[in-house]
Amino acid sequence: MNVLKERILRDGKCLENGILKVDSFINHQMDPVLMKSIAVEFVRRFASTDINKIITIEASGIAPAIMTGYLLELPVVFAKKKKPVTMEGMLTTTVFSFTKQRNYDVCVSSEFLCRGDRVLFIDDFLANGNAAKGIMDLVNQAGAELAGMGFVIEKAFQYGGEYLRKAGMRVESLAVIESLDDCKIKLKD
Ligand code: 5GP
């Protein structure tokens, strides 16, 4: 997706430890026009996939997920990082955060993720795949099915993509970073 790749090269910044900062257009300030193009591309790629719901994890996955849900006219559920006292039938799992280097719990209500659902997981980044594994766990607990996963940016030098594809998961990434070595962003063609 050229418009996204150009934006990453223009405005993305490399941090230490293999982290790409995209907070001027995705993670803090958001560009809704770019976000719409991202959603259009997800819709194109998953056009033939039978889904009835989109799932993501708060907070950064919500923007691309809601745009995609808007275009597909499907509900969007986000896994929450804080357990609301009012939540009924809570499903929980533990996710290791790559950026914060610690575990956190995420939860979703079985009212909104349940048997018979065919869900598409959308997130901003794919690194080691821990968020994706957490979603797989929640979907399994719910007795639902995961029909695919879409990431705005995949970092191919980490192992999430390889793991998920080997596990038979349909994974679509709109921009793939080959390396951030020497603080240079190298994109896959
Ligand atoms: P994973 O669970 O695949 O290891 O990491 C994905 C999650 O960590 C994403 O939801 C994203 O929030 C965060 N993340 C991983 N790598 C990066 C990165 O390079 N930059 C930013 N901004 N977030 C990242």
Tens digit of pLDDT for each residue in 98-122? 888 999 999 999 999 999 999 999 9
| Any ligand 1 atom below 6 A from CB of 160 | yes
Dist. CA 126 → ligand 1 center (Å): 6
Task: Quote the pLDDT of residue 87.
Answer: 80
Query: Residue 125 C-alpha to ligand 1 middle, in angstroms?
Result: 5
Q: Is 64 in the pocket of ligand 1 (CB under 6 A)?
A: no
User: Closest residue (by CA) to atom 7 of ligand 1?
Assistant: 125
State yes or no: pLDDT of 168 exceeds 90. yes
The pLDDT score that the predictor gives to residue 143 is 98
Q: What is the pLDDT of residue 86?
A: 86
Q: Is 92 near ligand 1, meaning CB less than 6 Å away?
A: no
Residue 5 pLDDT level (bands cut at 50, 70, 90): very high
Give the 3-state DSSP-derived string for the chain, with helices as H, strands as E and coil as C. CHHHHHHHHHHCEEEHHHEEECCCCCCCCCCHHHHHHHHHHHHHHCCCCCCCEEEEECCCCHHHHHHHHHHHCCCEEEEECCCCCCCCCEEEEEEEECCCCEEEEEEEECCCCCCCCEEEEEEEEECCCHHHHHHHHHHHHHCCEEEEEEEEEEECCCCHHHHHHHCCCCEEEEEEEEECHHHCCEECC
The alpha carbons of the chain give a radius of gyration, in whole angstroms, of 16
Which ligand 1 atom is at minimum distance from the Cα of 177?
19
* pLDDT of 2 above 90: yes
64-85 in b/e burial notation, b at 16+ Cβ within 10 A? bbbbbbeebeeebbbbbeeeee
For the cut 90, the answer to whether the pLDDT of residue 88 exceeds it is no
Q: 39 pLDDT band (50/70/90 cuts)? A: very high
pLDDT in tens, 9-36: 999 999 988 999 999 999 999 999 999 9
| pLDDT of the residue at 84 | 85
Q: Which of 179, 171, 177 is nearest to 5 (CA)?
A: 177
Instruction: Please state the atom number of ligand 1 nearest to the C-alpha of residue 23.
Output: 22
Do 89 and 112 meet the contact criterion of CB atoms below 8 Å apart?
Answer: no
d(CA 172, CA 151): 6
- The whole-model pTM stands at 0.97
The CB of 66 under 6 Å from ligand 1? The reply is no
Q: Quick one: pLDDT band at residue 189, thresholds 50, 70, 90?
A: confident
Interval 149-156 mean pLDDT: 98
Q: pLDDT tens, 41-84?
A: 999 999 999 999 999 999 999 999 999 999 999 999 999 998 88
